[in-house]
A and B are shown apart, each in its own frame.
Chain A
């Protein structure tokens, strides 16, 4: 209470302290509230959790290693193939074998062609991550757009429901392998195979969400007031969907990495070195003493990448839900 008592101590004149304010009808209409910016709040909520910063840093390190490190490592699978006794080495022996190279190449030992396991997993991670990002981008874009139309239009719904029932029953592996067989087994043909029907499940998910929100009372009211469908879609429904879409992307991106690993394992490999291909080729050395690292290292990296991407995505999804912004 003390601070409020003595006005004279402020050293201001009477006029400065008390002046008449006009009755401004426009200003009276304004609601005083802190400025709210959606994306600002998203990141405020996201960084409030300290664990997110750690995980984001981990993701940054992984991406840096996957995209920048291979530029310097000059990975060539068959560069060391002629080195005698250079295959399937433990880290210790590999370091002894290649004393001239910088130690970082050989900290995980060497693989079946005498190549560095450490270099191989980052080249593989780059391909796998690129595949996941490209597939997720294509599938999410098509899926969200088609899903939104599907949810709004009853005519489209009737047709798409049938398409979904039919395509959903065609075994996914069959579709992928037929595409891989027709085209050659390259990066882009795998992208095509994963996206040719992959968007359908996303579109169906988005459609269900749109249908749930579409008929809520506030949208009904909005429509009664004459808001156009496009504006309802963009202003009333989109904000709800952002968190759904981000959460979905969080499960989608890791799932493509898993899918690639799975496809390599059943024999549908692409020509580039990917994490799946590394796991598949190193599988025989899984139980061989001294050679386990070349199998478990790509497995571990694949798992770390997918977990980190998943957790970042989930937490970003939580943060992008406006209800958490209080």
Chain B
């Protein structure tokens, strides 16, 4: 059994990798990459050559291309000792305009210019030769003058020289899967930054809990790192599961526009809504009413020196903190609504399905069938709007408000999600039970003198329930995914709409991250369903011998 399941799991993981590869191919290679700037406010503020290089910088950041500027190339040469700093300074300035070559009757900007200084010309030659041999495309953009006579540059119109290459799918895939799990270590911070001794310290008195009056921290164990990304690698607090860690980090893809710069995993799991302010003591001793979560502090190089606000509060560069908010995370909202509606669906759907099968062709069965037809045939959007209109006329809140939570606002989304699944359960349970009723063993049991009630509960129901049980893990885990229409209609701040939003905004990082999440969930729920089915029904076995 274990061996079989392990094989299934490995098989599943393989198909997850292929799915992610397919999706990467779809979103990175087949869609227009210019579209990602559609909702980028910074992009529209930039002009001329700077806008052009900004595009390439962003494409590099979000994994489309490998991009190297001439400057970066020179700096890397200095570092490796091939040229001196003086040589670099001489070669770094390139001429405003490059030569133009006539190719097939069209003039094309060459990357060389007769106006380049000899030092620059030599380095540009090396630059071109080196990157062209590796399959890069070298681009030189001329200075963008608004007046050629006075040689005045347009805003952002300085001449640039860079090179780029599309990242192949395989390298993108490998780096994606390689970066999903990262273990925080004391070598995270670049060696250039002097941060003192790199070490992990174990303390019994967590400084984040320092009492503002006495200035002492109560007993609370924590592991604090220096040189790591997170300051707190392990700490204890009052919320479930009480012991928290930042040692193992998950990153599933950085968002470009849906939640800029934030990882999908964090987008889904961070709390939302109103800030929760409480008195906290910052490392400098400053006491303030704030929503900052000191335990989330991460390293930002140079932040302590640059900002007055930060140097007032923090003693080192571990200054990037997230905030504590009052409401649930996206996934939290989806899960609460989803799990209650799943429970409601089973509580209602199973008995109703049994009743329908028991009273086949009678009134209840007919009403039930009508309801099932209604749910299957009518577009889900139509009946969700209908539920919303009915609920509204009954005085229930028809949209959700994160800042002003009440239990009433959960009613309509839960009902809208539960009613279709009730119909689905009724349909299948009725079908399975009626199939079982006509089978030979039931007739045999009846001829053996068993009472109808006994046959029904001990034989028919048990057999008919097996396929239903197989679906339970799927529907429970499915609650994590959220529902697209329901969440949109009731403005639920849940995870269900993340994918559609990401698609509309061409946010590839989020799309890939969510695909990974969905694919993993679907594989896990299938395997869990099989395990559950095998535990309930002893006839089902996954070992090779029994088969």
A residues within 8 Å of B by Cβ?
162, 165-171, 173-175, 177-178, 181-182, 251, 254, 257-258, 261-262, 265-267, 279, 286-287, 299, 302-303, 306-307, 309-311, 314
Contacts and interface: CB of A to CB of B under 8 A. Distances in A.
B499 to A, nearest CB: 6
B485 A307 contact: no
B350 to A, nearest CB: 23
B389 interface: yes
B382 A261 contact: yes
B16 interface: yes
Given A181-B31, A266-B484, A307-B374, A174 B515 contact: yes
Interface string B322-342: 000000000000000000000
A171 B518 CA distance: 8
12 contacts: A169-B515, A173-B503, A174-B23, A174-B499, A175-B26, A177-B503, A178-B31, A254-B376, A266-B488, A303-B382, A306-B379, A310-B377
Contacts of B378: 258, 302-303, 306-307
Contacts of B16: 169
Given A169-B19, A170-B19, A265-B485, 11 more contacts: A166-B22, A169-B515, A170-B22, A171-B514, A173-B503, A181-B506, A262-B379, A262-B485, A303-B377, A303-B378, A303-B383
Contacts of B532: none
Interface residues of B, number: 41
Nearest to B17: A166
Dominant secondary structure of chain B at its interface with chain A: helix
Nearest 9 A-B pairs (CB), nearest first?
A: A310-B377, A258-B379, A169-B519, A303-B378, A307-B377, A261-B379, A306-B377, A169-B19, A177-B503
A173 B381 CA distance: 15
Interface in B509-527: 511, 514-515, 518-519, 522-523
Nearest to B520: A169
Nearest to A175: B26
Q: Is the interface of A mostly helix, strand, loop or mixed?
A: helix
B488 to A, nearest CB: 7
Given A170-B22, A170-B515, A265 B381 contact: yes
Contacts of B488: 265-266
Interface in B464-484: 484
A302 B515 contact: no
Contacts of B514: 171
Contacts of A171: 23, 499, 514-515, 518
B15 interface: yes
B503 A174 contact: yes
Nearest to A180: B503
B27 interface: yes
Given A171-B515, A279-B381, A299-B385, A182 B522 contact: no
